[in-house]
Amino acid sequence: MTSTLITVAPTGAEASKAAAPALPVTLDELVVAAKECEAAGAAVVHVHIRDGAAQPTLDVGRLTDTVAALRAGTGLIVQLSTGGAVTDPFDRRLAVLDAGPDACSLTCGTVNFGDDVFMNPWPFVKDLYQLTQERQVVPEFELFDLGHVATLHRLLAEFGPPAGGHVHCDLVMGVPGGMAGDVATLAAAAAALPAGATWSATGIGRTTLPVMLGALGAGGHLRVGMEDTLTFSRGRPVARNAELVERAAELARLAQRPPMPPAEARSFLGIPARP
């Protein structure tokens, strides 16, 4: 059994700083959080950024500065979100790659997202996929529903392997409108993935623990962070992203699958080593 790739998603686009004061929204807060999470066992940081008013933004200048600051301050793999917020238009989401990240998220289909809709129609998905190939940015396929797995198969069949040559997916479970965050659904989704693909899983909100325990048991990897979970335990808000990584790392060690260091994660995901 291999080690465990731990991704931290520290901010997201949905939670507000007012409701979650521990959410990192400035560049300094993000870099501090990323450093703590790396020390706790994370290898990848999945990044959404905020503007001066702590609102989600896809500003390419800010994204470029963020990539540079995370590279200067950590050894983490920098994975930018191309999902953004549900209100972000497709052209701005494609332009995220102009910031030159190591990796990016690539969601494989539209999904109801609470009262909103997270739009990922096929023409956008295939354009984004081809852009990742052109720019050699390694995609992580975000799968919110079983239908997204079918779209992943179609992408690979029509356009070939991703940059880096390895298919790594993230099962995003428990979103209201997406697949359930339970072990039966996790097993079904993992079984449907392309041969040779590896996968992480994250459970939104109260599904975080069942999904994490199920993923470790099924040979999967882990994503945690305040993008997905704002409550550490019943009635106790998350104090720092690092405590979510610490808990994931502890469970991974108990499962005899210790956290994967960033350098090993680079070769695992097909991301070139840092010069």
| Positions in the binding site for ligand KMH (CB under 6 A) | 12-13, 81-83, 85-86, 105, 107, 113, 118, 142
Burial 145-179 (b: 16+ CB within 10 A, else e): beebbebbeebbeeeeebbbebbbbbbbbbbeebb
How many other CB atoms are there within 10 angstroms of residue 31's CB atom? 18
Q: Minimum CB separation from ligand KMH for residue 228, in Å? A: 9
CA–CA distance, 186 with 86 (Å, rounded to integer)? 25
The DSSP bridge partners found for residue 57 are: 49
Q: Quick one: three-class SS letters along 41-86?
A: CCCEEEECEECCCCCEECCHHHHHHHHHHHHHHCCCEEEECCCCCC
Least distance CB 232 / ligand KMH (angstroms): 21
Smallest distance from the beta carbon of 258 to ligand KMH, in angstroms? 27
CB of 76 to ligand KMH, least distance (A): 16
Residue 85, binding choice from ligand KMH, Zn ion, none, Cβ under 5 to 8 Å by partner class: ligand KMH
Number of residues near Zn ion (by CB under 5 A): 1
Stretch touching Zn ion by CB under 5 A, among 81-89, 119-127, 128-136, 194-202: 81-89
Closer residue to ligand KMH, CB minimum distance, 3 or 70: 70
User: Whose Cβ is closer to Zn ion: residue 3's or residue 238's?
Assistant: 238
Q: Give first-to-last CA distance, the chain, whole Å.
A: 30
Tell me how far, at minimum, the Cβ of 118 lies from Zn ion, in Å: 10
**Amino acid identity at 110:** T
Among 57, 66, 81, 151, binds Zn ion (CB under 5 A): 81
Our CB check for ligand KMH shows the closer of 93 and 247 to be 93
Q: Which token pair is 6?
A: 């731990």
Residue with smaller CB distance to ligand KMH, 13 or 125? 13
Task: Choose the contact partner of 79 out of ligand KMH, Zn ion, none; CB within 5 to 8 A by kind.
Answer: none
Q: Which residues bind Zn ion (CB under 5 A)?
A: 81
